[in-house]
Amino acid sequence: MTNFLIGILILLNTSQIRNQEYLDFWIIWNVGQGQWISHILSDRCLHYDSGGEFFSFPPLKKRVIPLCRSRQNQLFLSHWDLDHINFIPSLIKLLPRLCWQAQPPPLKMTQLITQVKNLKIPFCVDSYKTFQTWNSSLGKTANDRSWVYQDRQVLIPGDSTSPQEKLWSKQMTGLNQIQILILGHHGSQSSTNQALLSALPKLKLAIASAREARYRHPHAKVMKRLQKNKTPVLKTEDWGSIWIF
Ligand SMILES: [Zn+2]
């Protein structure tokens, strides 16, 4: 992915996608404040979280479901907050071949978490090898305990917070290959610190899955840090769902 192209949903030609034999592209869905990221590959579709304020399902049904329905769909959760899991009941209806990585449920079960747990989604047996994860079970809050995913050159920190970020930015190997950073905690000022940016020498782009108009994310301080780092930022709030090829 040395040269990547960013397209907006409306520009995509579905028939072209269907005819490709080799598939490897990403969609950062516009879900308002939340996170749902799909990585579409030839043999599987990976989904990192599936939640947010709103989602328009027709584009998914028209363009992605025909591709992913016949493939195995693997779901990776960062943590169990509403804005990361509330689409899962809808997702499982659209993608029956959905499995997920084992994730310990939180101590405090809300109605939605119980509902998601009751969906009885099977665990994936065929794990996806070309990525690494990091998780702290010692963190105090759900955000602290966010799982962090590196999938090839893309880094997805969930809602990981500063103290954790300082740990994993030292402990995760391979961060020096990251080209795209999904801003941690939707661009909150408590994430994306200089220690992390220094660990990402090849970073070319940051993406905010957030809504500034309501939540002030990405935070002005984070935007400044990124500007200083010469990293451009795309926001789903401005561009809609962002496709990366
Ligand atoms: Zn969140």
Low-confidence spans in the chain with pLDDT less than 50: 1-17, 19
Q: pLDDT tens across 154-181, in order?
A: 999 999 999 999 999 999 999 999 999 9
For ligand 1, the distance from its centroid to the CA atom of residue 17, given in whole angstroms, is 31
Q: 223 in a domain, yes or no?
A: yes
Residue 1 lies in a domain: no
Assigned domain for 174 exists = yes
Question: How high is the pLDDT of residue 96?
Answer: 81
Residues whose CB is less than 8 angstroms from the CB of residue 44 and which lie 6 or more positions away in sequence, other chains included: 71, 72, 73, 74, 128
Give the model confidence (pLDDT) of 165-221 as tens digits: 999 999 999 999 999 999 999 999 999 999 999 999 999 999 999 998 888 999 999
Give the pLDDT score at 241.
94
* Ligand 1 center–CA 73 separation, angstroms: 22
Looking at residue 130, its pLDDT comes to 65
Separation of CA 228 and ligand 1 centre (Å): 25
Residue 83 CA, ligand 1 centroid: distance in Å: 5
Residue 194 within a domain = yes
What distance in angstroms lies between residue 186's CA and the mean position of ligand 1's atoms? Answer: 6
Give the count of domains, the chain. Answer: 1
What CA–CA distance (Å, rounded) separates 136 from 170?
A: 14
Contact 184, 168 (CB under 8 A): no
* Residue 70 burial class via C-beta count within 10 angstroms: exposed 0-12, middle 13-18, buried 19 and up: exposed
- The pLDDT of residue 131: 76
The domain spanning residue 84 has which CATH number?
3.60.15.10
Q: Give SS3 for 196.
A: helix
Centre of ligand 1 from the C-alpha of residue 137, in Å: 18
Q: Name the residue range of residue 144's domain.
A: 6-244
